[in-house]
Structure 1
Amino acid sequence: MSTTTSPSKIVVNAYGQSLDGVAPHFKLLVDGQEVGSANAADASSKAYSFTADLAANTAHKIQVVYDNDTATSAYRDLYVQSIEVNGHTLKPTDAIYERYDDAAPAPTQAGQEAMWWDGALTFSTPANYYGGAQTAAPAAPATPAAPAAGTAQNVITVNAAGSAAAGEGAHFTVLVDGKAIGEGTATSSEAKDYKFTADLAQGTAHSVEVKYDNDAVIDGTDRNLFVHSVSVDGKTVAATDAAMSVQRTADGADLGATTDLYWDATLTAKLDASHFAASTSSAGGSTDAGKGGTATGGATGGATGGSTGGSTGGSTGGSTGGSTGGDTSLSLKVGNVTVSDPGMVQSSSSINGFLHTNGNQIVDESGNNVRLTGVNWFGGEGYNYVPSGLWADSYQHHIDSMKDLGFNVIRLTWADDMFDSTAVTNGIDYSKNPDLKGLTRLEVYDKVIDYAGKNGIKVILDHHRNDGGAGTNEHGLWYTDNNPESKVIENWKMLAEHYAGNKAVIGADLHNEPSVSATWGDGNQATDWAAAAERIGNSIQTVNKDWLLLVEGTEWSSTLAGVKTHPIEFDTPNKLVYSPHAYGQSVGQFSWLSDPSYPDNLPAQYDSMWGYIYKNNIAPILVGEFGGQMHSAAEQTWASTLIKYMNGDWNLDGKSDLAAGQQGMNWTYWAWTPESGDVGGLLQDDYKTVDPTKMNIIKAGLAANSGSSGTVAGSDEAVFTVQLAKAVTTATTIEYATEDGTAKAGTDYTAAHGSLTFQPGETTKTVSVHINGTNTNDGTENFLLQLTHDNANLGTATGFITDHAA
């Protein structure tokens, strides 16, 4: 019998870190067959589109295969942010990551955004993603507006041909003085005129750019764009004219004046004032309307306009609205969207349940040795009393990023003053975190911890200081006049009871960086941190015996040498983890950093301070803080050496010294957000972009933990399509924001807000709202998407979340 097939569009949203002039290369495979490939040359995310003729109503396996990781120095890496299959968005965490390198700790591991090694992200996509092709209707041509004073409407014509691959032509955008005025797609080897209009100042020079952006080779067929000329009101300049130049996108190489764009590239026409004299003309022949442009005559050809949005379940209803504000002509329609609750999904790399210790190993409830590798998220210790960066992004997006980077634990700081009734909560933008509005500080922590747990990330609570502020206690002890030891114990017991039974919270770091006057094992009740740690830990165990108890050392936790003579003992055994801190040149010029044998001297140095605890099988080690600016080669060497040491390469010979089945030392990197003055953060100053130098160093120490299994929250995207009734003639911005209905932000979906800017000629945009999986059936729930312009409501759509289909 015959099989019904239909064209399927697959988009890979990715970016790359190039090395030695070579960008990361990937292939797209469907059911094991290559359908295309591309080079991820841009450092910012870009959509790579592919089309494949696939069996309808049939499940398919999609793989993104990274294949040129090998480099002579440093790192070449591919980062896959998501893929879209006929409008359905999948995150890398929905995939399985198979590494192809010899050092892979397991055949497969959980999917992650960063592909630091040759390997494949494999997505198993269901049959309902492939129900047949859908084609968007072309956008209606813009109605020309009267030009502004001092300007005139010019007709810009791009004469171009293209070669298609996998049924998709060469896509380009036309810009004038850096502003997009329209786009087109060349599908025919026969050159056509693509016409666009723009209101431009007359009697002055302008720069016209044709930006080709979807170059690819698919099944041996090369997609290319051929630009023959650019005209303004009939005044034509050939692509080979001296006024023209072409720059390749990947490396900025100047290709000179050429017709042939064999790579993603931008053709620039520097046109003098004589081209812009308010004249008009029409052209005959074969003419296509580019998106945002108008056809002036001739046969309609292969330019494509509009865009299609996707959502699980499709869309019906919605609303059409018009602005009653400054632009009374602005109107749009937006459809409702229905998605299914993605539910809870199995994760092969989950750490299962509460943890205990066995010698130097941490063991989960399934009996597997596991390794905790994560990040510090400070802020709760003061002055905001909540995790940092919530003024810049939602807590869900922060945690999503941590998960995508491969972290499995968060060390979450707090201070005793956090629970003082006079403390003021600061640092939250409630438009980005609407579900945190009106909550107490502890309730904010509940939200953060709940979301982390749903995403398979464990949490260690860290008593960072007593009085609200930054850093450790100024005098170096674990108590102050305002918060004596009795208060510390009271707060720890409150937290231990509050989170009892919550398997996301797996540990307590009893106090951060005892220093200055703190001692170890001398019996002085005022200064003996070892004795105090036992008192605090045993008090916690009277109400919660499930937690790991982390004990730091003295001298800002740089040393745990006192354990040799005075080891810690808790009433409930097999819960003790020692937690040193280690820093490099950004924090201090320690003697071992200037040793003549540096960095080969570091293993022996760390052995004497705390490594002996792990190597002698006394207890596990979790390096609670390490980090740096990583600006110097010396500090990068320090951090890389520390990672090797924690991984189990104790003599730096490139080979693991661990026994079979053992995991290396655990760690949490300091810090997530960038405000830490001496070392900065893993995030850069925008609180969203990851510092690639730092991440490239620490990624070598990330845990695989492939032995356990568990459930984490699934995810999906509700994609709303917003369509203007007619194209605008000037750039126009529309604001959007979600609003709770019966579905609640933070639990059922992630609140979204932002803006859509429509350039002249554009009519269609999409808004994507992240849907969180739950393990309950609550019936169909809903939330709203509100669209406004100049404070006037343009339209409202409803997102429906149906119960998870088992």
Structure 2
Amino acid sequence: MKRIRALLLIFAILTVTLLPFISFRGPTIAADPNNDDWLHVEGNKIVDMYGNQVWLTGCNWFGFNTGTNVFDGVWSCNMREAIQGMADRGINFLRIPISTELLYQWSQGVYPSANVNDFVNPELDGMNSLELFDFAVQSCKESGIKIMVDIHSPSTDAMGHIYPVWYDGTFTTEIWISTLEWLTERYKNDDTILALDLKNEPHGTPGTTPMAKWDGSTDLNNWKHAAQTCAERILAINPNILIVVEGVEVYPKPGYDYTAVDEWGKESKYFYNWWGGNLRGVRDYPINLGKYQKQLVYSPHDYGPLVHKQPWFYEGFNKETLYNDCWRDNWAYIHEENIAPLLMGEWGGFMDGGDNEKWMKALREYMIENKIAHTFWCYNANSGDTGGLVYHDFITWDEEKYALLKPALWQTSEGKFIGLDHQIPLGSNGITVTEYYGGHIPETSPTTTITPLPTPSSSPEIEKGDVNADGKVNSTDITWIKRFLLKIIEDFPAPTGRQAADMNNDGKINSTDMSILRRKILKMIE
């Protein structure tokens, strides 16, 4: 669909000499000591490494794809505070659109500058675009948010999403795959980035060139073949990452193939849907990843009548008619027939008090009922045909729109938001997936081995959990332990901090201690 992004500040992109293959330049990110949050698929469910079903519920924040070379809005808001604000409001999964061009530049040691307001982001002063991306990853990690990187377009361009396929005259299919291999290699030891959305909204209609199709061929424009090839190469580097594959725009009706030509005045020989939203081809030509099949998730996009007045938005439409006229045959069957999980990569729009809200509420209820993963479009205020979760200062939330989204965020019956991390709670008041499934780490969980601690003191002056020795045991102490486990700090602010942090006196500080401390603060234990 055509999406007009207003108020974008476009910066010049360095021109680089393209190579037929990409070399892996730059260091691999250091291993996360709590690297146990990888996900996989069981039927139509996404589960953690212990088999517990998780629900990815989040939003999109674009900018790395537009020429800003960082999240849009960092010209007025503080990046870390914005990410923390998302986590506090229950966003546990962030889809980050980016371009093949920017990834290619990074892989070649070229780091374009970015549009950052250093006054409100003093900690970002002097950072290049790759350093800013790493800062974003680290900020998400600290807040308990996980990430899906989305290849939004071949070239860096605010309107790049309009281009229909994953390659263009400059960035070939091989470069697209190789840059994703570079990204995978760099972050393979950090489970903050849990998923890769291989290409945003492949599309095109018969008779247009290029056009993304879905069939059994090895043609250059066959999205099914390209996605499968790309996924296999990514998974050879990191077999734990989720591969997210969107659909196309059109699919031939029974008895036809992509050579069919529509005739004027006669019924079309094709089924049409939103860009990326047509996954009918999965029934006839499913993605086959062999031993990696449990890493595959399909991802449709769905929008309302304010984006385009599709034929299913007739007077009196409702959730049942939307399901029968569009959702079931285009993508819902994949979930219902237990073929694979679904992740609604984009949905959202303006609050109009009418049909657009009616559509959003209907889709929201369907996703809640079926626990469909999703990322709302979008956080940005400057999405011209949908608006955002925040206003144009990128600080003030649109409370009416958030209220519509909130019921579809993963939370307990008491309203506690649930993160996807086993050790780091989501935001200031959320919980970990560990706490949700019983408040303890399974015995098979990997732990972080810390330098042996001094023999625990029996002194009553050292209260377990009071790692900063301020006389109180509260969420501040959890933050200190979290930062210690992430190696953001080397030691605690008080000499007694290590003894206080070793909640079970086993000589180690790890996720078990953080879980015990949270249970103590919540008064679940004495």
* Common topology (TM > 0.5): yes
Report how far residue 701 of structure 1 moved.
Answer: 1.0
RMSD between aligned residues: 2.7
TM-score normalised to the size of structure 2? 0.66
Task: Select which of 523, 538, 544 maps to 2:217.
Answer: 523
Residues 173-322 of structure 1 mapped to structure 2, 5 A cutoff: none
Match of 1:767 in 2: none
Count of residues paired in the alignment: 373
Name whichever structure is richer in helix by fraction.
Answer: 2
CA contact (8 A) 1:382 1:468 kept: yes
Task: Select which of 120, 144, 152 maps to 1:464.
Answer: 152
CA contact (8 A) 1:592 1:598 kept: no
TM-score normalised to the size of structure 1? 0.44
2:269 equivalent to 1:557: no
How far, CA to CA, are the matches of 1:708 and 1:491 in structure 2?
27
How far, CA to CA, are the matches of 1:674 and 1:715 in structure 2?
22
Q: Which runs of 5+ in 1 are unaligned?
A: 1-349, 649-657, 659-663, 717-770, 782-799
Task: Select which of 395, 405, 414 maps to 2:89.
Answer: 405
Task: Select which of 38, 53, 59 maps to 1:354.
Answer: 38
Match of 1:703 in 2: 410
How far, CA to CA, are the matches of 1:417 and 1:702 in structure 2?
33
Residues 578-727 of structure 1 mapped to structure 2, 5 A cutoff: 578-604=298-324, 605-648=326-369, 664-704=371-411, 710-712=422-424
Report how far residue 471 of structure 1 moved.
Answer: 4.3
Q: Which runs of 5+ in 2 are unaligned?
A: 1-33, 205-210, 250-274, 413-417, 429-478, 502-526
Report how far residue 779 of structure 1 moved.
Answer: 4.5
2:129 equivalent to 1:441: yes
Q: Secondary structure at the match of 1:601?
A: helix
How far, CA to CA, are the matches of 1:801 and 1:635 in structure 2?
58
Match of 1:501 in 2: 189
Deviates more, 1:482-491 or 1:427-436: 427-436
Flag the 1:386–1:418 CA change in 2: closer, same or farther, 3 A.
Answer: same
Report how far residue 694 of structure 1 moved.
Answer: 1.3
How far, CA to CA, are the matches of 1:711 and 1:363 in structure 2?
16
List per-residue Cα deviations over 1:322-360 (Å, max 9, x = no partner).
xxxxxxxxxxxxxxxxxxxxxxxxxxxx99610000000
Q: Secondary structure at the match of 1:629?
A: coil
Matched AA of 1:561: R
How far, CA to CA, are the matches of 1:611 and 1:589 in structure 2?
21
Report how far residue 458 of structure 1 moved.
Answer: 0.7
How far, CA to CA, are the matches of 2:420 and 2:137 in structure 1?
21
Q: Secondary structure at the match of 2:169?
A: coil
Report how far residue 434 of structure 1 moved.
Answer: 2.7
Q: Secondary structure at the match of 1:581?
A: coil
Match of 1:384 in 2: 68
Report how far residue 778 of structure 1 moved.
Answer: 2.7
Flag the 1:403–1:714 CA change in 2: closer, same or farther, 3 A.
Answer: closer
How far, CA to CA, are the matches of 2:115 and 2:137 in structure 1?
18
CA contact (8 A) 1:779 1:802 kept: no
Report how far residue 437 of structure 1 moved.
Answer: 2.7
Flag the 1:450–1:803 CA change in 2: closer, same or farther, 3 A.
Answer: farther
Q: Secondary structure at the match of 2:73?
A: coil
Match of 1:548 in 2: 242
Q: Secondary structure at the match of 1:613?
A: helix
Flag the 1:714–1:462 CA change in 2: closer, same or farther, 3 A.
Answer: closer
Matched AA of 1:409: F
Q: Secondary structure at the match of 2:59?
A: strand
Matched AA of 1:416: T
Matched AA of 1:359: G
Task: Select which of 230, 242, 253 maps to 1:536.
Answer: 230
Report how far residue 495 of structure 1 moved.
Answer: 0.6
2:315 equivalent to 1:574: no
Q: Secondary structure at the match of 1:639?
A: helix
2:483 equivalent to 1:774: yes
Matched AA of 1:700: P
Name whichever structure is richer in strand by fraction.
Answer: 1
Report how far residue 699 of structure 1 moved.
Answer: 1.2
CA contact (8 A) 2:303 2:349 kept: yes
Matched AA of 1:373: T
How far, CA to CA, are the matches of 2:299 and 2:113 in structure 1?
29
CA contact (8 A) 2:112 2:128 kept: no
Residues 98-113 of structure 1 mapped to structure 2, 5 A cutoff: none
Matched AA of 2:89: L
Q: Secondary structure at the match of 2:141?
A: helix
CA contact (8 A) 1:416 1:483 kept: yes
